[in-house]
Structure 1
Amino acid sequence: MDNRLLFHQSLNQLQRTLLEMGSRVEQLIHQAVDALARMDEPLAKHTIEQDDEIDELMIRIEENALRLIALQQPMGSDLRILSTAIKIATDLERIADHAVDIAKICVRLNGEPLVKPLVDIPKMAELAKAMLRESLLSYTERDVHRASALAGQDDEVDKLYSTVVLDVNTLMGSDFARNRQLSQLMLAAHFLERVADHTTNIGEGVIYMVTGKRKDLNT
């Protein structure tokens, strides 16, 4: 088989694995926030257990990308595509870690009733998941405009995070258990804010991959 054809087949397989990883990471975010909102400890523990599978996907992507670099010695745009795949896999693994962090908050709260139903945290999660999908689409479609638009979406997540912080500070009082829960919920919002930041990192990687120029989307 022609080496160039083999290279592109391997590249397509790498991309499919990356999209599979992204889909599973998105599911972890959904599970973690759903578990927290409903205080579903079994779901939270199931989410935590899935983290190892995400780590394995990251390792597989890194190994395959490095193997292609070593065997094919790509230059220019092909090299940027492979190095970006490695970077995206790393960001996806960190996003999964934050989903697990949120699930661990649910476990720590141990089923105690929520001070108030969660509203802004699930909104943050929906925005963050949408950003994740957009970032991966920008990679598969080599779409710089789609990647650049992530900056505006990140601002929306930041605004919701500020709202959560304000609400938590307003609800804080002298009750230690209540304050502990509120602090944990604010931490969950912080983890979602970091998820959004990692998706903008993916967007920055896509812009560099396509243009060869670096652009900061986290300004």
Structure 2
Amino acid sequence: MSTLLDETAADVPVRDITVNLSRLAAGTQDSYQNARARQDISRVSREELEDRYLRLHEETLLLKQHIHKQDDKIKKLGTKLMRLVKDRGRMEQLAAGGAQPVSRVRDVEMEEMMEELQEKVRGLQAENEGLKQRLLVAKQQLINSQTRRPSPYGRVQSRVNSGLRKLRDDSPSPPQTRPKSELQIILEGGVKPPTGQLPRYGHSLLEEARAEIRNL
């Protein structure tokens, strides 16, 4: 059985599949460190993680404020350097005999004053931004502390007020009626006592009439 050989097989480019051991070792080490860090984080409670996050956030804000202060110092030093260069140029011109006009000197002073005011404004803006960030962190800490604190009324069941008792209480009480006397019954009903009983009940009816008049 004859075999066919390709003469151009040796000219075909072959991909280099050699493994870079240093990269592989670095990748395995990073993955191991990440897995170890995840295991450590899973053992920490959520409250502690929140505290760590807030602490890191506050430290980051402090570092940002420090960076802003350093930037302001660098700008101030640059401004002072520019002033020194201008003053040196003016001194050289005065020494050479070419005095500057008064208006030019005043313009330079106004520019210096404007630069100082701009520096103060930038410093106040940076300070205001830092205070805002601190206020946000304080609000977040307050919210977290309130969510963690158990409510003293958490176990008390809510009661729904149907309003029936209130309606009963608000409803006007019926007027209390006094028992009617025999005289009122006789006068309202128009019933006349028998003539034979007038001497017997006359005194009692008179006393009841007097009592009714006193009550009125």
Q: How high is the TM-score relative to the length of structure 1?
A: 0.33
Which of 1 and 2 has greater Rg? 2
Question: TM-score, normalising length from structure 2?
Answer: 0.33
- Larger RCO: 1 or 2 (CA < 8 Å, sep 6+): 1
